[in-house]
């Protein structure tokens, strides 16, 4: 029995499958190259944090640049902690970012839920104002905000770095768009069972919004952890100074030790990576479901 020759349709399908596989291989190659491009500075930083100062900027190239030789362990971290009050400013950043994210999750979600569910005069105007505030850069508001906080006597405190950033127009709009897609019938069923507005929100709506909460937690932590301009304006001493301002001061403090600076930068980067790895699944779901691009 002889094999039947492939029909024109089968040949076309086989050609399309080969083209699909070829495109898939090309996409994976491009993604690997992009990942390597973006990971290069991170890997170099973490390796340099374990090198002695002389070998961080040595002329050795290739793979040897990513091998800690000589290995100094965590000596650079200890040196940075001693010279730059590293653990103090790290604690400051943890306190500031934790309160901004924690309070922001409550304030922004409740505000977004109110915009999505309540009907009142001026609601559309309020939504338009929230959208308009998204496009206004913080630099345009920094000087007036500095004047207000100085008049209140808040300079060089924790709360001057926390309270202005609890409510965020982008996060309010994120929650607003997410809650619009939550079926109202679920809330009506909860009210029929005797749940009040607060119980309905806490027990029914909020659990469904885990992706939105995770998205706001990651973006809010990233934003607050990397704040530089505002701490420059409102802080004077190391007591409430956060990490970004701390490293800006430390990298110009003689003697300049690049191993210590890389250790400082590595410690500043690790919490952001850990937070993202923990919540990345919810973050991707939140971006997809809320329509946030970028």
User: pLDDT tens digits, residue range 144-176?
Assistant: 999 999 999 899 999 999 999 999 999 999 999
Three-class DSSP category at 71: strand
CA distance 265 to 46: 9
Question: Is residue 218 a contact partner of residue 171, using CB atoms and an 8 Å limit?
Answer: no
Question: Is residue 83 a contact partner of residue 256, using CB atoms and an 8 Å limit?
Answer: no
The predicted structure's pLDDT at residue 293:
43
The predicted structure's pLDDT at residue 145:
92
H/E segment holding residue 18: helix 8-48
Angle, to 10 degrees, between the axis of helix 75-84 and the axis of helix 86-117?
Answer: 80
CA distance 3 to 33: 44
CATH of 84-290, one of 1.10.3720.10, 1.10.10.10, 3.40.120.10, 3.40.50.300: 1.10.3720.10
The predicted structure's pLDDT at residue 63:
61
Average model confidence (pLDDT) across the chain: 83
Question: Is residue 72 a contact partner of residue 135, using CB atoms and an 8 Å limit?
Answer: no
The predicted structure's pLDDT at residue 64:
61
User: What is the residue extent of each domain of the chain?
Assistant: 8-66, 84-290
41-66 tens-digit pLDDT = 888 888 888 887 777 766 555 566 66
CA distances from 133 to 119, 136, 167 (A): 21, 5, 11
Residues of the chain with pLDDT below 50 are 1, 3, 291-294
DSSP state of 205: I
| CB atoms inside a 10 Å sphere around CB 90 | 18
CA distance 172 to 117: 13
Whose tokens are 């701490």? That residue is 231
CA distances from 38 to 34, 71, 268, 275, 285 (A): 6, 25, 17, 18, 23
């Amino acid at each position: 029995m002889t094999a039947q020759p492939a029909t024109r349709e089968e040949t076309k399908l086989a050609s399309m499958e080969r083209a699909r596989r070829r495109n898939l291989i090309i996409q994976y190659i491009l993604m690997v190259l992009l990942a390597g491009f973006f990971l290069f500075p991170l890997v170099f930083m973490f390796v340099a944090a374990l090198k002695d100062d002389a070998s961080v900027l040595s002329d050795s190239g290739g793979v040897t640049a990513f091998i800690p030789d000589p290995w100094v362990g965590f000596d650079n971290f200890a040196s940075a902690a001693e010279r730059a009050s590293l653990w103090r400013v790290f604690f400051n950043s943890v306190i500031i970012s934790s309160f901004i994210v924690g309070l922001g999750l409550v304030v922004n979600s409740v505000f977004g839920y109110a915009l999505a569910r309540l009907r009142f005069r001026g609601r559309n105007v309020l939504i338009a104002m929230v959208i308009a505030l998204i496009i206004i850069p913080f630099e345009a508001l920094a000087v007036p905000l500095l004047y207000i906080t100085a008049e209140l006597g808040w300079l060089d405190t924790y709360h001057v770095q926390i309270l202005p950033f609890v409510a965020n127009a982008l996060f309010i709009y994120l929650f607003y768009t997410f809650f619009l897609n939550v079926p109202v019938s679920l809330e009506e069923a909860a009210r029929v069972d005797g749940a009040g507005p607060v119980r309905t929100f806490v027990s029914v709506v909020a659990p469904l919004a885990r992706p939105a909460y995770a998205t706001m937690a990651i973006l809010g932590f990233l934003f607050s952890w990397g704040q530089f301009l505002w701490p420059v304006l409102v802080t004077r001493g190391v007591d409430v100074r956060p990490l970004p301002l701390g490293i800006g001061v430390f990298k110009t403090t003689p003697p300049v030790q690049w191993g210590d600076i890389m250790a400082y930068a590595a410690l500043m980067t690790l919490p952001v990576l850990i937070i993202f790895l923990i919540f990345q699944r919810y973050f991707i779901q939140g971006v997809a479901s809320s329509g946030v691009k970028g």
